[in-house]
Amino acid sequence: MRCTYCGWTVNNGACPCGRSSVEEVPELVPPGTRVLCRAGRGPSILRWDPGEVTGHIGKVHRVETSFGVCWCEADDLLPDSEKRRKLLEAGARVWARWPDGRWFPGTIDAIEEPLRHVTWDDGDSMWIEASHAVLMPVESAEIAPGRQVIASRWDGERQLGIVEEEEGSGLFRVRFLDGEEASVSGGELRSLPPNPFREAKP
Ligand SMILES: [Zn+2]
């Protein structure tokens, strides 16, 4: 099961934000609960989609989404939470769901209940439902090969990329999402915080 506040899976009764270690986390999400869910796990299953729990078979949840029925274990669900919504205040750092179903880091900068205006770290902004954001308890990660980073390209545009290797003299080779590569000074890189919704290390 995931912490409803920070979205991390709760292992051994603890999550990074600490709220799920003091609250009892049930093993099954009850029918009628609105959730964000993913259909399964793996490198090609990156989408989290809105749905509603409509039943269970053993520990497996039946979830109706606009794409059809998904069968999900508790770790593949993020239930809506009134208590989380109340903590999603202006200025809060969040992981927020992009329309393609993936999660990216951003900041809440305005509120019109039940909506939140999120500005993602790459500069895009949008109104989204509060249920499509979770609190970000872990803010920083070291810059190292394999890490997701935000870096400036030659044209000055800031984009998401992955650190390929450390080249020495404070430079890192970065591969951007479109496949282009560049040498970027470590001072111009910002590492994305650890993402609760990615199985593998970023
Ligand atoms: Zn938590």
Centre of ligand 1 from the C-alpha of residue 154, in Å: 38
**Cis peptide bond N-terminal to 114, omega within 30:** yes
Q: Are residues 147 and 95 part of one domain?
A: no
User: If DSSP codes are grouped into helix, strand and coil, which group holds residue 165?
Assistant: strand
Assigned domain for 1 exists: no
Centre of ligand 1 from the C-alpha of residue 166, in Å: 33
Opening angle at CA 15, ends 8 and 35, nearest 5:
35
Opening angle at CA 171, ends 193 and 192, nearest 5:
10
Q: Are residues 151 and 96 part of one domain?
A: no
Instruction: State yes or no: pLDDT of 50 exceeds 90.
Output: yes
Each residue of 4-23: pLDDT tens digit?
A: 999 998 876 778 888 887 66
Instruction: State yes or no: pLDDT of 200 exceeds 60.
Output: no
Centre of ligand 1 from the C-alpha of residue 32, in Å: 23
Assigned domain for 119 exists: yes
Q: Compute, in degrees rounded to 10, the torsion defined by CA atoms 145, 147, 150, 156.
A: 20
Alpha-carbon distances, residue 128 vs 2, 22, 118 (angstroms) = 21, 29, 7
User: What pLDDT is recorded for position 143?
Assistant: 86
Task: Mark which of 119, 135, 151 sits at the end of a domain.
Answer: 135
What CATH number is given to the structural domain containing 32? Answer: 2.30.30.140
Centre of ligand 1 from the C-alpha of residue 18, in Å: 5
| Mean pLDDT within 84-88 | 96
Host domain of residue 71:
19-79
What's the total number of domains in the chain? 3
Assigned domain for 86 exists: yes
Assigned domain for 12 exists: no
Centre of ligand 1 from the C-alpha of residue 131, in Å: 15
Centre of ligand 1 from the C-alpha of residue 79, in Å: 13
| Mean pLDDT within 91-98 | 96
Q: Are residues 50 and 89 part of one domain?
A: no
Q: Are residues 118 and 153 part of one domain?
A: no
Assigned domain for 125 exists: yes
Centre of ligand 1 from the C-alpha of residue 184, in Å: 34
Structure tokens at 4: 């409803």
Assigned domain for 4 exists: no
What DSSP state is assigned to residue 99? T
Nearest C-alpha neighbor of 20 from the set 30, 12, 28: 12
Q: Are residues 59 and 93 part of one domain?
A: no
The answer to whether residues 13 and 1 touch, using CB atoms and an 8 Å cutoff, is no
Centre of ligand 1 from the C-alpha of residue 5, in Å: 5
Centre of ligand 1 from the C-alpha of residue 167, in Å: 36
Q: Are residues 105 and 89 part of one domain?
A: yes
